[in-house]
Every structure is written in C-alpha cells, then in structure tokens.
Amino acid sequence: MTEPVLTVEDLSVRIAGLHILQGVSFTVAPTGVTVLLGRNGVGKTTTLRAVVGLTPRGGEVHGRVRMGDQSLLERPTHRLVRGGLGYVPEDRCVFAGLTVAENLRLAERRGTTAAYDRVFALFPELDRRSRQRAGSLSGGQQQMLAIGRVLLNDNRLLLVDEPTKGLAPKVVTEVAEVLKRVAESVPVLLVEQNLAVVRRLARDAVVLAAGRVAWTGDAQELLSATALTRSLLGVGSAEGHHHGSGTEPGASASTAGPAREDAR
C-alpha cells in the first residue's frame, strides 16, 4: 500500500471539560476523497480543527497527527497551512466585508497568474464578481470562494468541512462536481452529511461514534450496506433528526434535503 498522506493516532480533544474525542485513529489515503462521517455532535469538525491547530482556547489536545513525516500538533496553524494543509471551514467563513478579489488576494502566497487561471476555470463566477463584496454573494458562491481561495496555493491535503451545508440542491451538485475535479489532483479529507454527495465522491470512509472511530473502510461498501449505515449514522430511522441525510442513501443529489434553502 502507498503511504497515507495524513496519519491520526490516538487523538483526544477535551474542550471545557467535555471529552469530545477519545483516542481517534485513522489515515487518509494519498489520493481521492476520504470522508469523515458520523451523527451530529460526534466530533467531526473538532477532528478537522484539531488537525489544523484551531482547537478553541482552553481546549486540550493529545495524540499524534502526521502529514508525511511532519508532526502537526505542536505547530501554529499558519505554518501548517503554508506547509500544504488547505482548510475549507464549516460555514465557509469568507470575509464578508472584503471583495471577492480581496478574499483571493489575502490567500495568495506566490500569486502566480496560473493559479488564478486554474481557480477561475473552476469558478468563472468568481472572476465575474471579483469587485463584489463577499458578504453579498449567495451561499453557493461563498462556498466556491472558500474553496477557490484555498486552491490558489499548492496543497498536499485539503480539509473540507460540510461544503454543501445549507445549499440548494442544484448548488449541492455543482459543489460536489467541483470537489470531484479537485480531488483528482489533491487528496481530500471531507466532512459531509449529505450521503448522496458522499456516494458520488468518497472512496474511503471513517465513521465516528461517541468520540471514537466506529468503522473504517470502503465508502461505497458502507453506503450499500443499509443496516450498517442505519446503525452508524442513524440514516433512515424514523426520528430523522439530523439534517440533510433524512433521505435514503441511494437518493440523488437533486432530491437530497428538499427542505433546505440556499443561505442567501
């Protein structure tokens, strides 16, 4: 087997006295999309944030996280990102008061035009709206911007947190399509609730439950085993309490989460 791009070993995170992660271990393959699954509040976002060094103040992190031969946990976030760890946060977090162009300019490091061409080829909308304030973009456009600014630089691994959350079904498809193309050149660790998107993108899956890894393996295999998805993710259960995955795993992106509106 090829060396994993990211190795997480025995990762524990405690925030404000709550043991959110209790010894999580998994690896991310050097190609394709690895998806991190689990019910709401299980620690998926906490995992990504711990990897990129953004655990909130007062939180304790233990364990080992390696990207290649590099140990990540002791290093400040900006060094990690400069070392090739791209991070697309939950809720997009574009700078609402800055223009699209400024949002991109902030992210650029060597700023070659080639990188801009690559991003604008993926997201022509960003080029057209470059003078518009990011806060006035639609949720889907903001998501494109959040992904686009990370792609301005070369990354060894992308961490992407719930990119389709709160987006209209049509936009969900677009975002998924973009991520699929991105994943052809750089490995992605994805947190995603929409199982249709997961089915479309993911090769490997890691399922968290109660702060621990409950299952790892082939994503498609997981999704085709209905009983397994039901027990691990609560999918298809009568409660239907967690958002965006109330439909059967086989549902297509266009019908997933019909109640969800575009954020803007």
Partner 1 sequence: MDAIILLTLTGLGLAALYFLVASGLSLVFGLADVLNFAHGLFLGVGAYATWWAAGNLPGAGHDGLGFVVAVAFGVAAGALMAVLVELVLIRPLYSRTIEQVLVTVGLSLAGVALLQATWGADARRFPRPEWTRQVTSILGAQVPNGGLLLIIAAVLVLAAILAFLQWTRYGLIIRAGVENREMVTALGIDVRKAFTLVFAIGGAAAALAGALGSVYFGTVSPQQGGSLLIFAFIVVVIGGMGSVVGSAYAAVAVGLLQQFVNYYGTSGLGDICVVALLAAVLLLRPQGIAGKVATA
Partner 2 sequence: MTEVKSPELPAASAAVPAELTPGRVSRLRPVLPLVVLAVAVILPYSTLHLPGIFEGALNSPGTLQLLAVCLVFGGLAAGYDLLFGRTGMLSFGHALYFAAGVYGTDILITRAGLPLWQAAPLAIVGGTILAGLIGAVALRTIGIAFAMVTLAFAQVGAILVARDFGGLTGGEEGLPLDVAGLPAALVGVANTVNLYWLALAYLVAVVFVVHRVTASPTGRVLAGVRDDERRVGVLGLDPYRFKLVAFTLAGGLAAAGGVVYCLIVGGASPHITSSELTLSLLVMVVLGGPGTRWGPVLGGILYMYLDHRLVSFGSSDAVSALPAFLSRPLSEPLFVLGTVFILAVYFFPGGLASLAPRLALLRNSLRLGRRRPT
Q: How far is CA 229 from CA 79, 160, 195, 221, in A?
A: 37, 22, 10, 10
Among 62, 64, 109, 264, contact with partner 1 (rule: CB under 8 A): 109
Q: Which stretch binds partner 2 (CB under 8 A): 33-41, 52-60, 147-155, 176-184?
A: 52-60
63 versus 236: smaller Cβ distance to partner 2: 63
Contact string (CB under 8 A) for partner 1, positions 13-52, x = contact: ---------------------------------------x
Distance, in Å, from the CA atom of 258 to the CA atom of 182, rounded to the nearest integer, reads: 26
* 153 touches partner 1 (CB under 8 A): yes
* 59 touches partner 2 (CB under 8 A): yes
The amino acid at 161: D
**Residue pointed to by tokens 């992190």:** 61
Side by side, which strands form the sheet with 60-67? 18-28, 6-15, 60-67, 70-71
Residue 174: what are its φ and ψ, rounded to 5°?
A: -60, -50
Q: Which stretch binds partner 2 (CB under 8 A): 50-58, 147-155, 170-178, 199-207?
A: 50-58
* 23 touches partner 2 (CB under 8 A): no
The amino acid at 66: R
**b/e 173-199 (16+ beta carbons within 10 angstroms → b):** bbbbebbeebbeebbbbbbbbbbbbbb
Structure-block tokens of residue 126: 């960003």
Size of the site for partner 1 (CB under 8 A): 24
Q: Which stretch binds partner 2 (CB under 8 A): 59-67, 84-92, 198-206, 237-245?
A: 59-67
Q: Which stretch binds partner 1 (CB under 8 A): 22-30, 101-109, 173-181, 221-229?
A: 101-109
**Which of 47, 22, 53 lies closest to 35 in space, CA to CA?**
47
Q: Which does 16 bind (CB under 5 to 8 A by kind): partner 2, partner 1, none?
A: partner 2
- Identify the H or E element spanning 8: strand 6-15
Among 1, 2, 16, 227, contact with partner 2 (rule: CB under 8 A): 16
Q: What is the contact surface with partner 1 in residues (CB under 8 A)?
A: 52, 54, 57, 76-78, 81-82, 87, 89, 93, 95-98, 102-103, 105-107, 109, 149-150, 153
